[in-house]
Chain A
């Protein structure tokens, strides 16, 4: 019996002091996050034209704030989180409705509301709340119960409601990600395979119909993706320029602050959506793969937490948040490499942006809470 193990059991039994919880926090993971945020600082320093202003300094500040937020949430008992999950989901939906009615529209896509100095994108928050809500619904469901179609209808509506609201914003990319995060939680919770096959089939049938209802700029993204050279100065410009910047970085890159495409503004939105391109141009394939590797470690940690957790609620949260993180990274990197249509998704921990940093760190806080409280007692499984 190791001392750590004994402390964990002690903690479960009530003698759960803050210090003990801090001891349980995997500091190597926190260090990993700091390393990624540092990469972000370096890249934003370059994007600022070799200056901490206007991006890098803010980024560091936000990360510091996010770190405190994350560690604070890590201390919160996961059972308390489970009790608040429904409230959180409700608040998320309320914010989405609010933003539809009163939000600010930028670039014809993302909607946000301003809370003091903070710009909050409810759709980002909603993804986390959706994971919490679904996990709360599925936490005590047995394998048999997961086979019951009627039992699955309410959570399916829980997914479709926010997805529909986000689509109305309209923000196709985030809506798709939210839908996929929901599907991942369903899958991990034990919904039967054939239901996914059926759902995929339904999507395939619905897609052409949906395409007709897409906005012009959204259609342009899809058509440009299929043939980016067709309109090099229009919608395809970003993809081409990003590929040029990436490709010209070569194996070892042009060197810190030496990236020509980024610094000469050929690269659009280099501090947000195209920050990865910036890194790949200046540090080459080596740098890009290193960053990708660091992000993979984060993903691996998420699944590690899920596998080691002793309650279904925590497991589902870990898988849901991990998938959310994965989708962020994948969509962003696939976008800048011209593998999927441009989606306006930032790279977590690295891109400039307060709202994204806040929600990312909130998610990691919940993940750590799951990890710290992985032995927490939940109610028995029900059929």
Chain B
């Protein structure tokens, strides 16, 4: 046994003695006992708290794991839409009349900046923003999801772009990208037909996510609006993996969108331009393919430049447009309302013939006026036309003859016939907002609480009175007279490479009018232009081109009093806005009609003087431009 073995028993005590070996040892053991208990307590408590952490982890990772997995996925995956290019609009020769051009723009992604206001503040120190722009941007940011970029400024110049790029570190959330914007190369020439695009308004939000994208435009008028969905296409989408600051790490999935489809319209841009170059304010010219209703040109003055709408229309510009009494934004060819005047006489004649109240050979004597009770209705020819049959009455545009026919036929039958020719009914054309016009009936007048008098019928027999018709309706009437089919005017020729409706004449139903009657009307119209004494003899076509048939019309815009008439009323001596409108409807060639034309010249005095020459010029232009190919001619010749 070694000495230190004894010491082993006295553990903890240093040296024996002092305050007493046994006392010291007892003290040490007591304190060690306390320590052991308390240390075990502390240790157990601490391990217990580790256990709590374990249970906490279990709850997060096992029980709620799925929920957090979803959140993690949402965290890292960001969906972005890819805007499809808007479809182009082409004219019948394939010329682009509405295309896309590059547009450099600054966008703001709200989720990539801590403070949208601060970013915009910095931005406007580089590229000034107006209060309105700020308000618009902040509204867009609120309205859209936070990862959807909002347009801050479009059509950036190179200098602005360079300044933004240089300051990029101070502009969190701002990115520059290139988008497209609409370009209308023909400017005001086709504005009424093609229409224009503008940023979508609240009411346009139809759930298409595409409309949330910055710089997206929707069609507001014309073809752009009618075919908006086709032109717009469908948005594609990319699923991107993004990190915490929104930086794209990689592309997870890509779904290609559907690009907007090209729309080809039947208008010939060159023809349209040529016609518009020839007409003055307040004039409309409509040229249709009589066989299938394709609108070849629809020229109206004045017009507007649709490119202006791209960048947003300024208040000043808008006021200028709306203050202009000539209403440049409104297409007079589809929305201008006129009485048809003598161009309506064929309808009256057809109604009379169909009602068998008159035969082609029936003659009526014109002394220059018709007396009905104590009212005298004058013919435009003060001295009278003498005895006339229907062909002669159309050729000379005798009023008395048609007073008489109308009196016999009755207004309701005339109105029904007018409706069959597209007058006073809604035409199926792709121009939103097109006017329906008005063809009065007995019932219509009675609904106004007024009686219909026989005198009213007489006046309406020569196309005066309550009629409100558009130049497009008159052109449609001319086309239906020429073909006897219920062709509808339309603009769509091809959509996405597929032909539009009704390209062949057989696609259109017959009007159900006796061919004999129609032929008589066409003969009368031929005589108007081609027979000595006809009212538009001066406007016949050059022999090489073909033969045109037509009908003149002049519409009083003010009543001519008896006193004036007796003093020798001269319309041309009136102030311009009191002068009568000049109208002309025509088709050509006479034997095998291809084209129908209507011309309305506001305050143009007389149909033969102002409207017919324009119609002739239009026909010459059409023939020169759209000369049928030799094969087509042969086919038509053989018919």
Contacts and interface: CB of A to CB of B under 8 A. Distances in A.
Interface in B107-139: 114
B50 A249 contact: no
Nearest to A253: B61
Interface in B37-69: 38-40, 42-43, 46-47, 49-50, 52-54, 56-58, 60-62, 64-69
Interface residues on A, range: 35 or more
Nearest to A377: B14
B42 to A, nearest CB: 6
Contact of B50 (A142, A295, A383): A295
Interface stretch (A68-76, A102-110, A124-132, A284-292): A284-292
Interface SS majority for chain A: helix
A264 B47 contact: no
Contacts of B64: 247
Contacts of B60: 243, 246-247, 337
Contact of A303 (B30, B39, B242): B39
A15 B72 CA distance: 62
Interface stretch (B4-12, B426-434, B620-628): B4-12
B13 interface: yes
Interface stretch (A19-27, A38-46, A56-64, A306-314): A306-314
Given A184-B42, A299-B43, A250 B53 contact: no
Contacts of A310: 11-12
A29 interface: no
A355 interface: no
Contacts of B24: 380-381
Residue picked from B35, B242, B243, B244, most chain A C-beta under 10 Å: B35
B31 A190 contact: yes
Residue picked from A264, A295, A329, most chain B C-beta under 10 Å: A264
Given A184-B42, A284-B61, A248 B69 contact: yes
Contact of A326 (B18, B32, B46, B69): B46
A233 B38 CA distance: 44
Nearest to A339: B56
Given A247-B69, A381-B27, A261 B76 contact: yes
A161 interface: no
B386 to A, nearest CB: 94
Nearest to A295: B50
Residue picked from A184, A295, A307, A381, most chain B C-beta under 10 Å: A381
A380 B76 contact: no
A266 B14 contact: no
Interface in B60-94: 60-62, 64-69, 71-73, 75-76
Nearest to B249: A264
Given A265-B243, A312-B35, A244 B68 contact: yes
8 contacts: A13-B4, A250-B61, A265-B245, A292-B54, A307-B40, A323-B46, A339-B53, A383-B27
Interface of A: 9, 13, 141-143, 146, 184, 187-190, 233, 241, 243-251, 260-261, 264-266, 280, 284-285, 288-289, 292, 295-296, 299-300, 303, 306-307, 310-312, 315, 319, 322-323, 326, 329-330, 333-334, 337, 339, 375, 377-381, 383
